[in-house]
Chain A
Amino acid sequence: MWEQFIAFFTTALLWIYSVVGHNFGIAIILFTILIRVVTWPLTAQQLKGAQAMQELQNDPEWLKIQKKYEKDKEKLAQEQMRIYKERGINPFGSCLPTLVQFPIIIALYQSVIRALATTPLQLLQLARTPWLGKVMTDVAAIIPVNSQFLWMDLARPEGIPFPAGFAIDFLPNGFPTLALIVAATTYIQSKLTMPAPSTKTSGSGQDQSAMMSSMMSIYMPLLLGYFALTFPSGLSVYFITSNLLGIFQYAIQGRANWRNIIPGANKTQ
């Protein structure tokens, strides 16, 4: 089943590659846009969940229980669950769609790796990808894939070489431009969708889901930045495109919370 999923992704990716003049970077970008369109319902649900959670932060009943059960965490959790249930809010509504996208990230990553085929065995496996021969009449014309895109080799981690005589051990590929862009765009995207902390509760009164969102906005940029540093840059192209599309989507819907991007900006409200 999983193998079929990867084969489908790989075939789609290579078909786009063949259509756009054998540019694998462009193929990844277009494929990412396609995935964003297909996963639109998930993203919409994520936005809806985030919006509901944001509105709840300033709800009088919510604020009341925060204050009332400030010292009884168990009771507070029970009351929060009651309110979630009454209002039809899924506390993980903004988080679960992100987790559901993980298999898509993994599948895309594996299909990018498969398409880039860095050993003879991988090239042989690529040649035998199911459906490839049915979708394209001349598979041999596009294999192997040209992995050069702008200054990058999409099959390898990106880095702009340091000047001669200068080296940093943990950055063997040079200055990690793409990793920094991945981390920055991931941070911006997660911050834009984060519910603003309630103006009437703080510290111990802050609810668990806001805490979770806050943690996500720290971990996700670090983790994806690490991936960009370590894994082939084709994956970074996916991350950046996906993040930029997400930011654009939030912005045109007027749901982007730009103040969240600047640390501490919300505290001055």
Chain B
Amino acid sequence: MILFLRRRKVPMKNKPILLFSLFLLLAMLLSGCSGVMSASSWSGLSVDAETAFLAGGQFVYAIDLANGLQVWKYPVKGDAKKVFFAPPLKTPDGQLIIGSGGNNHSLISLNPQSGNPPSENWVFDAAADRWVASPLVWNEIIYAPNGDGHLYALDMKGNLLWSVKLGGQLWTTPATDGELLYVPSLDHRLYAVNPETHAVAWIVELNGAVMGAPVVASDNKLYVGSFASRVEVIDTVEKTVSDLLETRGWVWGAPVLDEEMLYFGDLEGNFYAFDISGGELSYPAIKPDDAIVGSPLVLSDNVVVTTESGNLYFIDSKGKYRSQIVDGKIYSAPVLAGELLLVAPSESETLLFAYDLEGKQEWVFTPAKEK
């Protein structure tokens, strides 16, 4: 066989085909390994009273909270250009808004009650980049941040009311104190936008990029976790920035405020419970096991955090904790749905796990494989 191969010459007429095949191989290597052709990230999860909505790659799933069964899937057939990973947003008037984080840059409104698959109410496709964060709905206006650096304001029918160019890429859901919109950007700035004038009211420079939504406190303060390994405090009256606490790793998820306690984790795997009124940590930072990417979830007796290694931790007010192994890797925040605790892991065939508040598994959701 070897001899045969050695002796046999590639006919002249086949050489162009051989060369072309080599180039094709290079093309496949470039596209296949890049992650650009098919954008991917971790799942986004949200709930209403009866349904969990999971943005899990090329599909968005509606899952019955009572039993974990699929109610519908959108779209019927996957499209590599449409990838969903921002948590779907259920609006007060019953729409479900999802944005594509793929090469298709559509913001889509679904009617979640319209059957399987759900019908589209409208599609907004004037943005130039990905939708990584969920929009904010306030006063019947949808404020949608896009990777192209614009904050788009749409009416509830998807018509563009106005837009404002901020800077960098907007990957974070805006927050509001009832007067201004606060939009962190990956350009290490936080923009305060006046929805009346449709213009930037003021800007503050942060020490690093911010991925989590700002926490609005009642004392004219905003709290953001940043890549500069700290939680930063923005005084919205003085328009100044100061450090609340330097952390051991980058803070990725949004901090969570519960009365006077601010909870957050970092990429080095440390969890912090900071007493704002006392100005110090309630207990020394604890390190359950691995990176904490998602925001914590505050329950009545515990704070729940997920770690990259696929564990769920229930941490009490003294900093003592117990764990529950989930599966895969967990980057997204746990979500509370009535008496259920929902966790959406990555790198797992099971896209959603439901536990009771004690950590006992109630059901799992594994989508049927595509034919």
Residues of A within 8 A of B (CB): 73-74, 77, 99, 102, 105-106, 109-110, 113, 118-124, 127, 140-141, 143-144, 146, 156, 208, 211-212, 215-216, 219-220, 223, 226-227, 230-232
Contacts and interface: CB of A to CB of B under 8 A. Distances in A.
Most buried by A among B9, B23, B36: B36
B146 interface: no
A208 B9 CA distance: 12
9 contacts: A73-B12, A106-B30, A119-B101, A120-B85, A121-B42, A124-B252, A140-B207, A212-B19, A215-B15
Given A120-B42, A146-B168, A208-B15, 9 more contacts: A120-B132, A127-B250, A144-B168, A144-B169, A144-B186, A212-B19, A215-B16, A231-B36, A232-B36
A127 B132 contact: no
A140 B33 contact: no
Contacts of A99: 22
A144 B129 CA distance: 16
Most buried by A among B33, B101, B211, B267: B33
Nearest to B83: A119
Contacts of B267: 124, 127
B26 interface: yes
Contact of A223 (B26, B85, B207): B26
Contacts of A106: 26, 29-30, 33
Nearest to A6: B33
A231 B34 contact: yes
Interface in B228-243: 228-229
B160 to A, nearest CB: 16
A140 B228 contact: yes
A127 B227 contact: yes
B20 A219 contact: yes
A140 B331 contact: no
Interface in B31-52: 31, 33-36, 39-42
Nearest to B208: A140
B5 interface: no
A122 B35 contact: yes
A211 B12 contact: yes
B9 A77 contact: yes
Contacts, number: 100
B73 interface: no
A121 B331 contact: yes
Contacts of B187: 146
B142 interface: no
A157 B41 CA distance: 21
Contacts of B171: 120
A119 B30 contact: no
B10 to A, nearest CB: 9
B183 interface: no
Nearest to A112: B34
Contact of B33 (A110, A127, A146): A110
Nearest to A230: B31
B252 A219 contact: no
B207 to A, nearest CB: 7
Contact of B34 (A109, A121, A143): A109
B209 A140 contact: yes
B15 A124 contact: no
Contacts of B250: 127, 140
A144 B35 CA distance: 17
A3 B35 CA distance: 14
